[in-house]
């Protein structure tokens, strides 16, 4: 993701906060939408790029995936530092439209089983 001086300073300050060092996965059981017929649960994965600003990604996750602002910020930081982040779990049928909308914004996303 594109990073200007302000974004970099924000990332450094936030990354030093203890809550971020303990984060391994930002998806909660509440946000998992499973396919009740097949039981299949897939994961929508957001991948890092050098194009989008943190704010662009945060806004997309809030609008398309229904994340809170705080959760979207955490996902964005994980994507930036780890290269990818699981942003939503659910059936392939439920995740495919989200993947399409995120892709339309130029974000790199995939669905895994």
- Report the alpha-carbon angle 2-51-96, nearest 5: 125
Q: What is the pLDDT of residue 41?
A: 94
Query: Domain-by-domain residue ranges, the chain?
Result: 5-112
What does the pLDDT look like over 13-52, one tens digit per residue? 445 444 444 444 444 444 444 444 556 899 999 999 999 9
pLDDT at 37: 55
Token pair of 109, please?
């996303």
pLDDT attached to residue 40 = 81
pLDDT digits (tens, 9 = 90+) for 79-98: 999 999 999 999 999 999 99
CA distance 45 to 9: 26
For Cα atoms 62, 42, 82, give the angle at the middle one, nearest 5 degrees. 60
Q: What pLDDT was estimated at residue 97?
A: 97
* pTM assigned to the model: 0.69
Region 59-86: mean pLDDT is 97
| Matching CATH number, 5-112, of 3.40.50.300, 3.30.1390.10, 3.30.110.40, 3.40.50.720 | 3.30.1390.10
DSSP 107: -
Does residue 84 contact residue 48 with C-beta atoms inside 8 Å? yes
* H and E: helices and strands count for the chain: 5, 4
What average pLDDT does this structure show over 2-17? 46
């Amino acid at each position: 993701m594109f990073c200007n001086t302000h974004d970099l300073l924000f990332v450094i300050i936030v990354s030093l906060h203890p809550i971020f060092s303990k984060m391994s996965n930002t998806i909660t059981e509440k946000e998992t939408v499973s396919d009740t017929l097949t039981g299949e649960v897939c994961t929508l994965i957001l991948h890092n790029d050098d194009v989008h600003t943190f704010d662009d990604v945060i806004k997309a996750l809030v609008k398309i995936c229904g994340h809170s602002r705080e959760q979207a910020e955490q996902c964005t930081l994980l994507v930036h530092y780890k290269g990818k982040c699981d942003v939503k779990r659910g059936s392939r049928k439920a995740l495919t439209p989200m993947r399409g909308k995120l892709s339309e914004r130029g974000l790199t996303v995939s669905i895994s089983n």
